[in-house]
Amino acid sequence: MTYGCETIGETDEPLLAAARYLLAKRLAQPGDMLSTYRKGVRSMSANVGWAAGRTVIEGPSSGPRIGPHRLYVQSGPSSDDVEKVVSDHELALA
C-alpha cells in the first residue's frame, strides 16, 4: 500500500487496512471516501469510517466475506505466552 509516494505496508485487504491507517494517523476523516486502483482503474471504494471497521473473514465452509474488525489489546502476559495483536494493520506494516 502507498499513501502519496510513501509505502505504508502490505496486506491482503488494502482498502480496509488503509482506512484504519489513515484514521489512526489522522490523515482522513470517517466521512472521507477512499479508493483503490489497479493498473490506473478504480477497483474498490468505500467510506473511510465504514472500511476501517471491517475485515475479511474466511471460514472453512465459506468463501471470503466482509465482517467486523476486532481490535485486540494486550492485557498482560497470558499463561500460554500468546501475544495478542494490537491490530492487523500493525502486523502488515511490520
For residue 72, what pLDDT is reported?
A: 56
Q: Domain tally for the chain?
A: 1
| Three-state secondary structure string covering 28-93 | CCCCCEEEEEECCEEEEEEEHHHHHCEEEEEECCEEEEEEECCCCCCCCCCCCCCCCCCCHHHHHH
Residue 28 has pLDDT above 60, yes or no: yes
Instruction: Kindly indicate the confidence band of residue 53, based on its pLDDT and cuts at 50, 70 and 90.
Output: very high
The overall pTM is greater than 0.85: no
The domain in which residue 32 lies consists of 2-93
